[in-house]
Structure 1
C-alpha cells in the first residue's frame, strides 16, 4: 500500500519525533483514517523525505516517530519562470498547481508594463503549491518569490535566458532552441504581451526569443506549455 505524504515545514532534519499541526492531523486521522501504527511519509519542502510511524492518532495533534530520513536529489538543472499574473486569480492558481506537478523550481510574479495584477495572496498561493507538491509525491517545494519588476528580472545571470512573445519577429521553437543541462529562466508576458520596448530590453540583456507554437495562448496556458517543454527538453540528457 502506498504511503500517504504529509507536509512538515518545521520538522528538524535530525528529529526523532514530530507532531503534525491541527489541519494536517485532521486530514491524516479523520479524512484518510490513519491510525496508530500506520507508516506515513513527511516532506519538509527542502528535499528531506522522512519515513515515520504514527504513535498517537489524535486528530488534533497526530504524533509520529521518525524511522528514517533521506535527502532526495535536488532537481537539476534548475528551471525558473517569470510570469505576469493575470487579473483572473483562478487562472494563475491553476497554473501554479499544474506547473508544480510537472516540475518547476522557481516562480517569479513578473510586473511588466501591461501587468494587470501586481499584488498576490501569498499564503493562499503557497497552500496551492504545497497541495500540488504532495499530490505529485515530490519533496521540493517551488520557490514562489515576491513580485519583481521587469527591469530587475532581465538583469538575471541565468546561464540560459529565454523570452516568449507574440510579435512577428524571427523566433525559434523553444524545444529546438533550449539546450538541456543548463539552468534556465523563461519570461512569459501578460495578456497583452510584452511591449516592443520590453522585448528589445530583454534581447539586449542576452535573452533569446522563442515561440511556444502556432496559436496565441493565454498567459497561464503559455506558462504551462513552457514548463512542459522545458522539462521534456531536460529529460533528453
Structure 2
C-alpha cells in the first residue's frame, strides 16, 4: 500500500484531505481511483488507512477506515555527524540510514569542519521521502547544528570513531545493548586530538569500524548498519 506523510493526523475526524502536491501525485502518477486505499503516517508511529472518495489533481479527500499504532523500536541508534563539504553525501547518508533504521541524527560543528551551515528543511524532506519509500512509521529526529564540545558535554556516554592510532574496540564486538547508542562521526579532516581527548574524558569509548579508511558518510552508515544488526539479534 502506498504510504504518505502528514505530521499531524486527527484520528477523531474521519474526513481526510490530501495536500495539492499529494493530490497531483495520487491522480497523475499513481492514478488512484475512488475506493482505493492508501496509508498515511505522522512519523510518530501512527498509521492510518484512508479510502479515497473524491480525487482530482487539485483536491483529493477520503475517509479514515483503520488506525494502527506502531511501537517505537526497543533500541535506538543516534549518529552525531559532522556535515560533509559536499552536502549531497550527507543527504545520501540520511536517506540510507532512514531506510536501515535510525532514531536521531545530530549535525556536529567540529574544529576541522568544512561545512558550517545546513538547510534543515531540505534535509527533513529527504528523511520524510525515505520514510515513505521504506514503509516505516517513525521519522528520525534531526537536530540543529551544534558544536562538538557542547554536544559531548550533554551526553552521559557514547562511542567515537576516528582515524588516529591507539587502542580501539571493534563496534561489532562490543555488542552494545543499551536502549540508545550514540556514535560520533567526524568531518573529512577527522576529529582533532583535542576533540578526541575531550570525548574520552566524557565517557566516550573509541571504536573501530574496520581496517579500511572510510569517508564520513560511509563511516556513519557502517555504524548505523552495525548497530541495526546487533539490535536485531537482541
TM over 0.5: yes
Gapped regions of structure 2 (runs ≥ 5): none
The answer to whether the 8 Å contact 1:79/1:230 transfers is yes
Alignment of 1:1-237 (within 5 A): 3-158=1-156, 161-237=158-234
Secondary structure of 1:110's match? strand
Range with greater deviation from structure 2 (7-16 or 52-61): 7-16
Dislocated runs of 4+, deviation >2 Å: none
CA RMSD after TM alignment: 1.1
The answer to whether the 8 Å contact 1:101/1:133 transfers is yes
CA shift at 1:227, angstroms? 0.4
Secondary structure of 1:154's match? helix
Range with greater deviation from structure 2 (56-65 or 46-55): 56-65
- Compared CA separation, residues 39 and 156, structure 1 to 2 (3 A): same
Count of aligned residue pairs for this structure pair: 234
Q: What is the distance in 2 between the residues matched to 1:91 and 1:154?
A: 24
Gapped regions of structure 1 (runs ≥ 5): none
Q: What is the distance in 2 between the residues matched to 1:136 and 1:149?
A: 31
